[in-house]
Chain A
Amino acid sequence: MNSYEWILYAGIAVWSGLGLYLALLAHKQAGLSRRIKQLARLMEDER
């Protein structure tokens, strides 16, 4: 493997790592939004 390939692999590792972390945050945010909507619906029904 030549040196440029190693630089490329390091870049891929860093960017995909950051991307995965952002995807995890987005997934958590989506779950939270779903729960907030459910709670709002329940509270509206109770009124």
Chain B
Amino acid sequence: MAGLYPLAPFLALAGGFLLAACQWLILVYAPTEATLGLPQKIFYLHLPLAWWGLFSFFLVFIASGAYLASRKRFWDVLAGAAAEIGLALAALALISGAIWAKTSWGLWWTWDARLTTTLVMCFIYAGYLVVRGMDMQPDRRARIAAVLGIVAFLDVPLVFFSARLWSYIHPPSISLEPEMKHTLVACIASFALLWLGLLLFRWRLAQDAINLEETTKERLMRRE
């Protein structure tokens, strides 16, 4: 991870520029969907945000398990970074979804299974971040956060399958023409670069904060 860090600004910049270029694909290249009309184009931002948000929570799950198995600080820091980015992306997916819902369904919000499980997931990971920010002995906090990171993941498959199993308004999938698929793949790939850049930034920030805390403690102990 530390070896990858110098790439972070380039990844984030490349992701940002490619996402800007994707606007052309979205507005010009991708055809307008026959039944959903122009607002369907919101989908090209909404879906990558949701997918990368869910992937971030999957990473929290993996990193939390790895922390409990190895007790290496690296995994705890990675889980924290991924949870924060996942929450930001999931919240943006909810907001972009609400705008799309207003144009297509005529309402900003409805208690549909997909929407509700996603909102619950956001609250769970917000709670997870609150626990991580609590003033506790670092190893104890990391252990509690790791357990919570594993338990919290129970909601993620529910979010993923909710549209297929219980949803009454959120479509489980949309049939796409080849140009639409190309645009979607380009948007997902651009978000991948941005996501990796953000993850590296956030990981480094958390790592620096821990190093600072440890150095401060060492200094205080030396003085005593």
Given the interface pairs A7-B38, A11-B23, the reply to whether A17 lies near B88 with Cβ below 8 Å is: yes
Main secondary structure of the interface of B (DSSP, over half): helix
Within 8 A of B (CB), among A17-42: 17-18, 21-22, 25, 28-29, 32, 35-36, 39, 42
Q: Which residues of B contact A39 (CB under 8 A)?
A: 212, 215-216, 219
Q: Give 1 or 0 for each of A1-26: 1 = CB within 8 Å of chain B CB.
A: 00110110111011001100110010
CA gap between A30 and B52 in the complex, in Å: 27
Check B67 for interface membership: any CB of A closer than 8 A. Answer: no
Q: Which residues of A contact B49 (CB under 8 A)?
A: 14
CA gap between A9 and B98 in the complex, in Å: 11
Binds A, one of B39-47, B69-77, B168-176: B39-47
Which of chain B's residues has its CB closest to A13's CB?
Answer: B95
Within 8 A of A (CB), among B27-71: 27, 37-39, 41-42, 45-46, 49
Could you say which of B38, B45, B102 contacts A11, with CB atoms under 8 Å apart?
B45
Q: Which residues of A contact B39 (CB under 8 A)?
A: 3, 6-7
Given the interface pairs A39-B216, A43-B219, the reply to whether A17 lies near B38 with Cβ below 8 Å is: no
Q: Which residues of A contact B208 (CB under 8 A)?
A: 32, 36
- List B residues at the A interface (Cβ < 8 Å): 23, 27, 37-39, 41-42, 45-46, 49, 88, 91-92, 95-96, 99-100, 102-103, 194, 198, 201-202, 205, 208-209, 212, 215-216, 219
- List A residues at the B interface (Cβ < 8 Å): 3-4, 6-7, 9-11, 13-14, 17-18, 21-22, 25, 28-29, 32, 35-36, 39, 42-43, 46
| Nearest 6 A/B pairs, CB to CB | A3-B38, A10-B42, A10-B99, A17-B92, A6-B103, A21-B88
10 A-B pairs besides A7-B42, A14-B95, A21-B198 with CB distance below 8 A are A6-B39, A6-B99, A9-B99, A10-B45, A18-B88, A18-B194, A21-B88, A25-B201, A32-B205, A39-B215
